[in-house]
Amino acid sequence: MISPLGPTPSLNALRAFEAASRHLNFRLTGLELGVTQGAVAQQIRALEAELGLKLFERQPRTLVLTHNGQRYATDVRRAFQMLATATQGLRPEPQHVTVSVTPTFATKWLIPRLADYTRRHPGVDLRILATERLAHFQTEAVDLAVRYGRPPFGPGLAADLLFEECLVAVGSPLLLRRSGAPETVGDIDRYVLLHDSQSAWADYFAHCKPPAPGAPAPTPQAIWFNQTTLVIDAALTGQGLALVQKEFVAQDLSAGRLAKAFDEEQRTGAGYYLVAPRRQRAPEAVAGVKAWLLGQAGG
């Protein structure tokens, strides 16, 4: 008997194709699906033979979707999403919201506040994806993301300001007492400056502590880190001075674990924004988490 839906390839072949269209690598696709690389390649070859067209161009180190492959991947992924939505409607799972943040934002701002979240939202699980790379809303099922910069962040995305970038120079109180609190830029040579990708010490000094006319430029020793959280941890242990977002060290400043090296603060015009797709899979749950994050930032 002919199916009223028309001929369709096997579900396993379609699942292999959808995963391969994301990874563009049969080995990674096999790891996701729990099968061998050879099994994935066989599924794709069979699917291409059944359709009578190529879905991938095989290159030495990667795969590239053909034009037909790109079109098919979009429709197949949408079909799987519809199946997942239909299944969830029959067997509702506990609500969850996935939030993408940087490791520094997670450790220095979000985690200290999570007890308040669990108390206020007992029915919605929070899934935190901490990564330095830019997470993808669709392929990684991300509902909300905290992104640094200036809007707009992309089509179909809404952005709400959490807090402006406000940079402060901080160090451990013991280090500042031992080396003498700096009063001018010239005093900075007594310290090691801790750097990350956002530590614009030269801009900070130019805006907040310009040197006296004719004074030689300071040449302090420097240590570089690839994450802001490491810069803050180094400052806490007395390794040098850090130039960091004020919100990330607010609790350390209040508790006396860190102190300002200079009173001046630099506002750069950039900020940390809560970014989300305008169309959400669970709008009520996402709206609740979004309101909580904005409330925490405002508080």
Rounded CA separation 249/150 (Å): 22
User: Which amino acid makes up residue 206?
Assistant: A
The dihedral over CA atoms of 274, 130, 138, 288, expressed in degrees to the nearest 10, equals -40
Residue ranges covered by each domain of the chain: 11-90, 96-154+271-298, 165-268
> Is CATH 3.40.190.10 the classification given to domain 165-268?
yes
Q: Do domains 11-90 and 165-268 have the same CATH topology?
A: no
In DSSP notation, 255-285 reads HTSSEESSS--EEEEEEEEEEEESS-SSHHH
Topology of domain 96-154+271-298, CATH: D-Maltodextrin-Binding Protein; domain 2 (3.40.190)
What are the structure tokens assigned to 165, written together? Answer: 């970038």
Task: Tell me the three state secondary structure of residue 146.
Answer: strand
pTM here? 0.67
Residue 227 DSSP label: S
pLDDT tens track, the chain, 299 positions:
445 556 788 899 999 999 999 999 999 999 888 899 999 999 999 999 999 999 999 888 889 999 999 999 999 999 988 887 787 677 655 678 999 999 999 999 999 999 999 998 888 889 999 988 887 887 788 999 999 999 888 888 999 999 999 999 999 999 999 998 888 888 888 999 999 987 789 899 888 888 766 666 677 899 999 999 999 999 999 999 999 999 999 999 999 999 999 999 999 999 999 999 988 878 888 999 999 999 999 85
Rounded CA separation 241/222 (Å): 10
CATH class for the region spanning 11-90? mainly alpha
**Per the omega criterion (within 30 degrees of 0), is the bond before 216 cis?**
no
